[in-house]
Structure 1
Amino acid sequence: MKNEILSPQQGLILRLAVGLVFGLALGALYDQLDPVKNPPVLWMQIVVPVLTLGAFIIWASAAAMRRISLGVWSAIALGLIALIAWNSLAHGDTDQYNPFFLNLAFLIYPFLFIANELVSSGDQAGKPIAPYALYFDEAWKRGVQLALAGLFTIMFWGILWLGATLLGFIGFDWFKTMIQNEYFAWPASGLAIAAAVHLGDVQTKLMHAFRSLVLGVLSWLLPVITLIGVIFAVSLCFSGLEPLWRTKAATASLLAACIALVLLINAAYQQGDEERPVHVVLKWSARLACGLLLVFSVLAAYSLYLRIHQYGLTPERFLAGVGVFIAVLFGLGYAYAAVLPRGRWLATIETINISLAFVKVAVFLAVLTPLADPLRLSADSQASRLESGAVALDKFDWRVLRYETGTYGREALARLAKSGKTDAIRAKAKEALAWKDEDRWDHAVAEPVIMVKPEIQRLHIVSPGTALPTSFLEQAFTSDDWESICFKESKACDVLLLDMNDDGNAELLVLDNRRLRTIYEDAGRWKIAPIFFIVDSDDVTAFKAGKVKPSKPQWNDLDINGEVQTASR
């Protein structure tokens, strides 16, 4: 057998065979994974993702790699998927098992995609590192193929269900029963995806045109996000970082911005300005975006550092750290490419993209295997913080070790229970070990309550000649309560003093946009009434003019056995 690329016909046969055989195997296994019917079996839980993700590896590479290379790489990829699945099952929470890695192991998707493109392109080029143009063509082609294959499969199943519905109208339910059967659903889906992927390979002009359209649309989104990013960065110079930290989602938001910037910069660059003329707006937008990428990645790193320094490492924060690390590398590399005075426009991006692709594969593989398992590193970090005294015993979140760091966390608890530095640590570790799995949310450490006083500069009094009660201004509310009174995004809220319950004392009506809330005094404390009003724009105008008075309900509520029932309209 010659070590050459499969012909289109041979590629189609291989893809359809994989879709059929793997689909039948999945149909046989998937019913066995129902924990209600059968106890989970480890090898079955490993084989399901191996077949599912392994099929995509073979489908993608069937018409791109030489035969021997395809066989060797497919075997290696299947083995890596099995190793990653075993690691996730052996050290994670088995009750949170997901055959599609919708958990901490989700990085397997970018790992397999990038690794497959590196191997496939290298095999086509006949050397370990292929030309950038080949990497670019193959990666975007696979991405478009994957999207179209998913769309085709959704439409395929939509047609099948339409047919089942139509047949059901005339009393024939056999078709609906058939498509719901695992032995039909999985092979049919496999065949549909295989056919869609193959169509993308043989319809090269169509794929190229669609890819060009996608890149063209994305590239002209770059000036938009660059302008928004510049406004945001300049605004931070005046507002400081505190408003960003108060969102409690600074790292995630900044990382999302970094991902968008990398995607759009590459959509604008494509293969440089030698391949095709690039508009000057895109060129300058790309250079500015490279600088923004560095700024956002550094801010994300600082935000994550503050969080880890305050609360320690958790698996989610570790994965965020992986994203921040890669974002900073992209930021440094792209900023360097943007400021180079000589050479083609952003030409250094090509070397940076190739280098960081290998870095990402290595980092993702380490994170997905025992080498740098987030569960292990997080458990070690939390235990060391407790033993070193970095966190007080009553402030330590034992739930992280017991529930969020898998077997590593429970092993750390067992060690602390046996050889902790103090009797209190040993006793608390024994108590945490005895917690039941179903009580995981009953032991969470409560977030510190932040108290704030009313911001008088944001409260505009509508009632002429009146002032806000001193007791109201001096009372501290929880930040959540005050947020429900007057949103922090609002520049100002209108306040009207009005007796709403005929007790002789004025209550406060606070209007925020179109939401009207009542604040009343009870036993010397101001409280938020459990009701609110939604008003229209005309009512807002009338409220600000003071044209408001209390109105008794036409029909009283009913008290039935001590429970008040309000009439519905």
Structure 2
Amino acid sequence: MPGLNRFLGFYLLIGLLQGVVFNYADRFFNSNQALFTGVMVVALVGGTTLQLLGEKARQWRALLPTLAFTLLMSGMTAWVFYREEHLLISRREVDAWCLSLVLLSYIGASFLCAWPAAKGQRWRYENLFQQAWNSVFIVLYALMLVGLFLLLLKLWSRLFLMLGIEFFELHFWSQTFMCFSVPLVFALGMYMAGRSEKVIGQMRGMLFGACGLLLPLIALISVLFTLTLPFTGLDRIWATGYSTPILLVLAGAQLFLLNGVFQEGGQPRPYPKWLMRFVEFSVVCLPILAALAFYSSWLRVEQYALSPQRFIALALALLCSLYGLAAVWAVALRSPAWLSNLRVTNPVLALLFCVLLVLVNTPVLNPIRLSADDQVRRLLDGRTNPEAFDAHYLRFGLGKAGEQAYAQLQMDVDQERILNPESRRALRERMDDTSLSFDEQLAKERALAPKPELEWIGPKPKGSEQFVDMSEIADSPCESGCVLWAVDLDADGQSEVLVVPLTSFRNEYKGPRIYALDEKGQWDDRGPLLWTQLPSGHVDTEMLIHDIREGNIALVKPRYRQLQTRDMLLTPVIREP
């Protein structure tokens, strides 16, 4: 394998340490969940960033900032997930931070890898640009290598499984093997891609070539759309309900292609003079498109209040506006190098984007909390009529912040501290109509449902009243009533209880179960009673209850005994001929 040297051990060591973390991840999670998230971020973010640094990791000026960035991301993750006032983090917030963490890690790694490692060197935009794109292709190459590795393992294991050899199928897909092999193969892919500068350069060149081909087309789309607006008006845009994402995609795609053509800012002019002027003219459309997207979302906020999706749309539209204004300013400067001012504004805006990503995951700009506050504020200042207030969305659509705002609003209404009497009455009706949560609805249905009928055949054993409480539990065998029979099944002098549900043999089947007293005097479910003559094991409960009542039942010793191994108890299931 060309290009391998002793520095490969550095990559493999990182992969090995990542494998150790992944293999013992469940123990970290069980011992301390905050520690678990911190260690996982250190392994993923820190390990991948160090692999992207490559040989620069030997120099302290590059290594120390990387370690500091890794610890910062680890601490931020632990704080977001497990801060005291936010223990019950919603799935939406988890997904938002995971996406933010990926973007922050990518931008941070690009800056760290482009930072001058030697004292006295000057930071250069060319290094940042190349490293940002190289990181994408290096990680993509490593992921492709991991995918091919897994496919070959699947082929290997399946081939030998056809021969009846299960060893490879069992061990290749075990947790330990996966936790160690995947990071090691990924590390090998990072090493190979990091030293294949020619291949990475060709991939980057192909992408930039496509950008150069598509930029005039999207410039034409932007110009034609912008020039058409005075003749069609804006009302049709506001009426669609989906104008913001389309406008943001158009502006974002044009910015992406523009930077793909601009590249490091030192290449010759990419187009003829007339086409250059047309592209520059289309750049003026960028702030207009971003402003339309911002105003479109703002209209929705004015009509229906703030929501997390609208907040994110407003933030992205504002960011696109800043990028568009920076591009317009670069055109207006008319510098010798085409759009050379982007070399100054792009890094600043990238760091501003990082700050925004951090803030939206904190109480400062948390979209869910801001949305809940805006919902209540609009109600109190009269912009939202109590009859039209969406109490259900506030309570169940905005996570913990919405639940807290709903509880506070309900308390204020009950204590008559807000609104006028007529508005309070209308709001109380809206809140009373709010759908109950799943647990509340289930509790209400159980309270209104008739108590299950319990019928004892023969004397009741000690603690029989416990079955009354157990019958009210969800998915209880006695949910629709049952017959109970105390019988000593194991001949130890202490009766067990056979619980036979009152369900049909063919419909809504629930099998009989055996309960035994534990050391604390509680009746414990020990498992089902099966009819082994049938493949399904289902018991005809109606016939069983009839035979118990008639006394047509007997205790029979099993013909075959159980087998006890070192850590297993094997019970034979025999179907008599």
CA contact (8 A) 1:376 1:408 kept: yes
Residue 275 in structure 1 maps to residue 271 in structure 2: no
In structure 1, how many angstroms separate the alpha carbons of the residues matched to 2:299 and 2:405? 25
In structure 1, how many angstroms separate the alpha carbons of the residues matched to 2:192 and 2:282? 36
Aligned to 2:10: 14
Superposition map of 1:552-567 within 5 A = none
In structure 2, how many angstroms separate the alpha carbons of the residues matched to 1:68 and 1:431? 62
Aligned to 1:339: 332
Residue 44 in structure 1 maps to residue 36 in structure 2: yes
Aligned to 1:559: none
CA contact (8 A) 2:247 2:292 kept: yes
Aligned to 2:221: 228
Give the match's secondary structure for 1:142: helix
In structure 2, how many angstroms separate the alpha carbons of the residues matched to 1:25 and 1:159? 25
Aligned to 2:318: 325
Distance change in 2, residues 1:187/1:62 (3 Å): same
Residue 132 in structure 1 maps to residue 128 in structure 2: no
**1:31 Cα offset (Å):** 9.1
Distance change in 2, residues 1:364/1:233 (3 Å): same
In structure 1, how many angstroms separate the alpha carbons of the residues matched to 2:352 and 2:119? 21
In structure 2, how many angstroms separate the alpha carbons of the residues matched to 1:305 and 1:89? 33
In structure 1, how many angstroms separate the alpha carbons of the residues matched to 2:121 and 2:285? 33
Q: 2:145 aligns with which of 141, 152, 156?
A: 152
CA contact (8 A) 1:417 1:430 kept: no
Distance change in 2, residues 1:386/1:54 (3 Å): farther
Aligned to 1:392: 385
**1:277 Cα offset (Å):** 4.9
The residue identity in structure 1 corresponding to 2:229 is L
The residue identity in structure 2 corresponding to 1:15 is Y
Give the match's secondary structure for 2:95: coil
CA contact (8 A) 1:62 1:70 kept: no
Superposition map of 1:144-223 within 5 A = 144-223=137-216
Aligned to 1:307: 300
The residue identity in structure 1 corresponding to 2:52 is A
Q: 1:60 aligns with which of 52, 55, 61?
A: 52
- Higher normalized contact order (CA 8 Å, seq sep 6+, divided by chain length): 1
After superposition, what is the alpha-carbon deviation per residue over 1:214-258, rounded to whole angstroms, capped at 9, x for unaligned?
211222111122222223333333332333334322111111222
CA contact (8 A) 2:211 2:260 kept: yes
Distance change in 2, residues 1:45/1:119 (3 Å): closer
- Output the TM-score relative to the length of structure 2: 0.66
CA contact (8 A) 2:16 2:183 kept: yes
In structure 1, how many angstroms separate the alpha carbons of the residues matched to 2:171 and 2:32? 26
CA contact (8 A) 2:360 2:366 kept: yes
Residue 357 in structure 1 maps to residue 350 in structure 2: yes
Aligned to 1:515: none
**1:9 Cα offset (Å):** 5.2
- Structure 2 unaligned blocks of 5 or more: 442-577
In structure 1, how many angstroms separate the alpha carbons of the residues matched to 2:122 and 2:393? 42
Distance change in 2, residues 1:264/1:313 (3 Å): same
CA contact (8 A) 1:222 1:261 kept: yes
**1:135 Cα offset (Å):** 1.1
**1:88 Cα offset (Å):** 4.5
Q: 2:24 aligns with which of 28, 37, 40?
A: 28
Give the match's secondary structure for 1:372: coil
**1:160 Cα offset (Å):** 1.8
Aligned to 2:91: 96
Distance change in 2, residues 1:399/1:288 (3 Å): farther
- Higher deviation after alignment, 335-344 or 311-320: 335-344
The residue identity in structure 2 corresponding to 1:51 is A
CA contact (8 A) 1:417 1:427 kept: no
The residue identity in structure 2 corresponding to 1:311 is Y
CA contact (8 A) 1:121 1:134 kept: yes
After superposition, what is the alpha-carbon deviation per residue over 1:325-382, rounded to whole angstroms, capped at 9, x for unaligned?
1101001111121233443211111111122122112222222233322222222222
After superposition, what is the alpha-carbon deviation per residue over 1:291-326, rounded to whole angstroms, capped at 9, x for unaligned?
232221111111111111111112222222221111
Superposition map of 1:80-91 within 5 A = 80-88=73-81, 91=86
- Output the TM-score relative to the length of structure 1: 0.67
After superposition, what is the alpha-carbon deviation per residue over 1:77-118, rounded to whole angstroms, capped at 9, x for unaligned?
2432442354246548646279xx534652222222112222
CA contact (8 A) 1:8 1:63 kept: no
Distance change in 2, residues 1:85/1:218 (3 Å): farther
- Structure 1 unaligned blocks of 5 or more: 1-6, 440-569
**1:191 Cα offset (Å):** 1.4
CA contact (8 A) 1:255 1:297 kept: yes
**1:419 Cα offset (Å):** 2.6
Q: 1:416 aligns with which of 409, 413, 418?
A: 409
The residue identity in structure 2 corresponding to 1:435 is S
The residue identity in structure 2 corresponding to 1:383 is V
After superposition, what is the alpha-carbon deviation per residue over 1:263-284, rounded to whole angstroms, capped at 9, x for unaligned?
1101111123x43452327634
The residue identity in structure 1 corresponding to 2:158 is T
CA contact (8 A) 1:220 1:268 kept: no
Question: What is the aligned-residue RMSD (CA, Å)?
Answer: 3.3
In structure 2, how many angstroms separate the alpha carbons of the residues matched to 1:325 and 1:438? 42
Q: Alignment identity in percent? A: 25
Give the match's secondary structure for 1:390: coil
Distance change in 2, residues 1:409/1:279 (3 Å): same
Larger radius of gyration: 2
- Higher deviation after alignment, 275-284 or 219-228: 275-284
In structure 1, how many angstroms separate the alpha carbons of the residues matched to 2:285 and 2:434? 45
Distance change in 2, residues 1:105/1:416 (3 Å): farther
In structure 1, how many angstroms separate the alpha carbons of the residues matched to 2:251 and 2:41? 30
Give the match's secondary structure for 1:345: coil
Give the match's secondary structure for 2:259: helix
Give the match's secondary structure for 2:56: coil
Give the match's secondary structure for 2:351: helix
CA contact (8 A) 2:104 2:357 kept: yes
CA contact (8 A) 2:110 2:128 kept: yes
**1:399 Cα offset (Å):** 3.5
In structure 1, how many angstroms separate the alpha carbons of the residues matched to 2:309 and 2:180? 35
CA contact (8 A) 1:46 1:86 kept: no
Superposition map of 1:480-495 within 5 A = none
